[in-house]
């Protein structure tokens, strides 16, 4: 597994790099021995350290963990523990009982990461945000419950997927009240 460790507003020493590498390899390797990669960002915010960990255990899956603590090691350990908890909780759900991947029949799409040019400003003066990354992503063929599980794993507010039952593109999202919203164009046409 490739592990990228960066520091935001601080220098990451070799001891912390080694600690992060060992912790992630042990936790992720336990559930996914052939995991793709992981990205760890440690930043200093006011009087505490924040660790953001993103792991791609298999193609199409993203697991994220965040934590903050007074010590950088404690922040990393808490974020890695969140990753371990998610992987432990969802490992059996990632594949169905017949041994097939849950995302069989997926199609490709482009995903854009958009950010303002300056962190203090919401948008640049011309009102158009800068596109800072363009990533090819998979739109998986899955059930609604599998999509909710993947959205929770990725700690994402929204997910688009091919509904295995209807064959249409569907969207699920986390509402402001904490519940899950589901947009199914097939059901909208029947009403």
What token pair was written down for 190?
Answer: 């029947």
pLDDT 10s digits, 112-144: 544 444 444 454 555 555 555 566 777 889 899
* Residue 58, Cβ density class (10 Å: 0-12 exposed, 13-18 middle, ≥19 buried): middle
In a 13 Å sphere around the CA of 16, the CA atoms on its Cβ side amount to 21
Whether the pLDDT of residue 19 is over 50: the answer is yes
Which pLDDT belongs to residue 118?
Answer: 44
Which pLDDT belongs to residue 176?
Answer: 87
Work out the pLDDT band at 102, boundaries 50, 70, 90. very low
Instruction: Report the relative pairing of strands 158-163 and 169-174 from DSSP bridges.
Output: antiparallel
Structural domains of the chain sorted by starting position, each given as residue range(s) with its CATH number in brackets = 2-94 (3.30.160.100), 111-135 (no CATH), 140-191 (3.30.505.50)
* Residue 48, Cβ density class (10 Å: 0-12 exposed, 13-18 middle, ≥19 buried): middle
List, in sequence order, every residue forming a beta bridge with 162; answer none if it has no partner.
141, 169
**pTM score > 0.75 for this model?**
no
Between residues 29 and 187, the one the model is more confident about: 29
Which pLDDT belongs to residue 63?
Answer: 86
Q: 131: helix, coil or strand?
A: strand
Which pLDDT belongs to residue 150?
Answer: 85
Work out the pLDDT band at 43, boundaries 50, 70, 90. very high
Question: Residues 51, 42: contact at Cβ < 8 Å?
Answer: yes
Pairwise CA distance, residues 23 & 76, whole Å:
9
Percent of the chain with pLDDT over 90: 25
**What integer is the mean pLDDT of 97-117?**
48
């Amino acid at each position: 597994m490739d592990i990228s460790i960066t520091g935001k507003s601080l220098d990451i020493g070799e001891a912390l790099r080694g600690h992060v590498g060992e912790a992630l390899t042990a936790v992720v390797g336990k559930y996914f021995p052939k995991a793709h990669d992981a990205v760890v960002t440690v930043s200093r915010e006011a009087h505490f350290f924040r660790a953001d960990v993103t792991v791609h255990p298999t193609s199409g899956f993203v697991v994220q963990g965040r934590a903050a603590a007074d010590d950088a090691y404690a922040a990393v350990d808490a974020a890695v523990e969140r990753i371990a908890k998610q992987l432990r909780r969802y490992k059996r759900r990632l594949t169905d009982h017949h041994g097939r991947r849950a995302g069989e029949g997926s199609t490709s799409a482009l995903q854009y990461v958009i950010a303002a040019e300056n962190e203090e400003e919401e948008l640049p003066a011309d009102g158009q945000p800068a596109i800072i990354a363009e990533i090819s992503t998979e739109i998986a063929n899955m059930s609604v419950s599998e999509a909710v599980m993947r959205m929770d794993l990725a700690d994402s507010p929204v997910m688009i997927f091919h509904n295995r039952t209807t064959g249409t593109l569907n969207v699920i999202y986390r509402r402001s009240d904490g519940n899950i919203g589901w947009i199914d164009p097939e059901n909208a046409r029947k009403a």
